[in-house]
Chain A
């Protein structure tokens, strides 16, 4: 494959990696969250190139539509808006940069120097029907366990984020009279 598809692939790769670097280095946490949005969108585009259409849609729905909104709400709820410019202090720049760059070098060298048993040719086929079928047959137990886990996480998050000290009598879950 060459031509426009390659060009789009490189644009998506640059968008993803550049946004991830911005997430790591931007001093303002709101800007970091917006850069994270572009990183997630770039990963969704990479999924399309890997013939994972269902996963690309899930990435946009869950990450961009859900997790990023949650993170933005947490940022806005946990900081006074006046000192938002200083909201993301950092430390250990040089040690962390050394560790991460050396790790990236090792990983990239390993990836490039290893010859994976890649099957020739590329196939693009819709994956949604197959994923749904496998989730209902072969992966049914993990699917159900994941649903129970999501229910537990939902209840736990709702319970944790309620204000404390008003148990029973004047709880905010009560019906207004």
Chain B
């Protein structure tokens, strides 16, 4: 194992997350894609911190990314529940009432 393999894994996670965001219409599934992309970024941070810099700042950055992901997931899921209570669906195409 080496650094390039880990970066390829991160790239694969990123592309899977991007595919999920692009194709899904269910908002919860879109959120799953966002979580995959954040994990890809974290893998890259920790890999560079372990192989290149040898200081622990990359891991601390990853900890903050995890904190932000948790806050974002909580608020986003609360918004989805409110959207479901209002419109009866959580599909992202149907939430277009603010469109002019």
Contact B66 A90 (CB under 8 A): no
What residues of B have a CB within 8 angstroms of the CB of A158 in the complex?
A: 78
Contact A118 B51, CB 8 Å, known A17-B9, A20-B13? yes
What residues of A have a CB within 8 angstroms of the CB of B33 in the complex?
A: 23-24
What residues of B have a CB within 8 angstroms of the CB of A107 in the complex?
A: 7-8, 11, 14-15
What residues of B have a CB within 8 angstroms of the CB of A70 in the complex?
A: 73-74, 77
Contact B11 A111 (CB under 8 A): yes
Cβ proximity bits B38-70 to A, threshold 8 Å, 1 near / 0 not: 010011001101111010110110111011111
Contact B74 A78 (CB under 8 A): no
Contact A104 B15 (CB under 8 A): yes
Contact B28 A52 (CB under 8 A): no
Contact A55 B59 (CB under 8 A): yes
Cα–Cα distance between A83 and B80 once the two chains are bound (Å): 18
Cα–Cα distance between A42 and B62 once the two chains are bound (Å): 16
Contact B71 A149 (CB under 8 A): yes
Contact A20 B17, CB 8 Å, known A71-B31, A78-B84? yes
Residue numbers of A with Cβ under 8 A of B are 1, 5-6, 9, 13, 16-17, 20-21, 23-25, 29, 32-33, 36, 39-40, 43, 46-47, 49-52, 54-55, 58-59, 62-63, 66-67, 70-71, 73-75, 77-79, 87-93, 95-97, 99-101, 103-104, 107-108, 111-112, 116-119, 122-123, 127, 130-131, 134-135, 139, 142, 146, 149-150, 153-154, 156-158, 160-161, 163-164
Closest CB pairs A-B (n = 3): A153-B71, A20-B16, A107-B11
Q: List 7 A-B contacts (CB under 8 A).
A: A43-B39, A50-B47, A67-B69, A100-B15, A104-B15, A116-B51, A157-B77
